[in-house]
Amino acid sequence: MKSRKALPTLETPRLRLRQIQIADIADLFAIFSDPQTMRYWSHAPFVDMAEAEAYLRNIDAGRINGTHLQWGIALREDDRVIGTTTLFSLNPRHHRAEIGYALASAHWRRGIGREALTTVLRHAFDALDYLRIEADVDSRNTASCRLLETLGFRQEGLMRERWHVQGEIQDSAIYGLLAREFFVPA
């Protein structure tokens, strides 16, 4: 896959999905250190700023070497990062990728996740010419499962006891969305 030096900025009426920068490190730490936000993730919340700095280096490396594309989700009104959405496990040969997302708990239940994912999915299907996007969600995360289903994803399986995080065992609900099935609900 060819290198992706610049991450395109994607905009909606309320959001700007943009490259995450060192100036966003405190916001990145706030998102990924929040136990509510991280409740269903495959790793524990960050405990110090060094973890956020390492995470940003990983984000940059993925963009540069073409393995993943991770946008900061920012409100257009102040451009502060309140979440992220990622296309990863990019496989242009087979026209597929996986999607991930995290949103600061203070911004839940406002339609921001749906708006951000809709925008990234459009980009994946239109600009990147992908035909399939997959998602791996803790099956207990009903809000995330509902969001994916609203966007047309179908649950295709359950991987039992897939993640072991902080002494807790988590199952993964595996979702898939084909380009031809993607729709934006009213």
As a three-state string, the secondary structure of 134-161 is EEEEECCCHHHHHHHHHCCCEEEEEEEE
Cα distances (Å, whole numbers) of residue 77 to 29, 81, 136: 21, 11, 31
Name the domain count of the chain: 1
CATH number of the domain within which 58 lies = 3.40.630.30
4 in any annotated domain? no
Any domain includes 186: no
Q: What is the pLDDT of residue 1?
A: 41
Tokens of 62: 């993925």
pLDDT tens for the chain, 186 residues long, are 444 578 999 999 999 999 999 999 999 999 999 988 877 777 788 999 999 999 999 999 999 999 999 999 999 999 999 999 999 999 999 999 999 999 999 999 999 999 999 999 999 999 999 999 999 998 889 999 999 999 999 999 998 888 777 777 888 899 999 999 987 655
The size of the chain, in residues, is 186
| Domain presence at residue 2 | no
pTM of the model: 0.90
Domain hosting 158: range is: 10-181
Residue 1 lies in a domain: no
What's the rounded Cα separation, in Å, for the pair 145 and 18? Answer: 25
Domain assignment present for 5: no
What was the pLDDT predicted at 38? 77
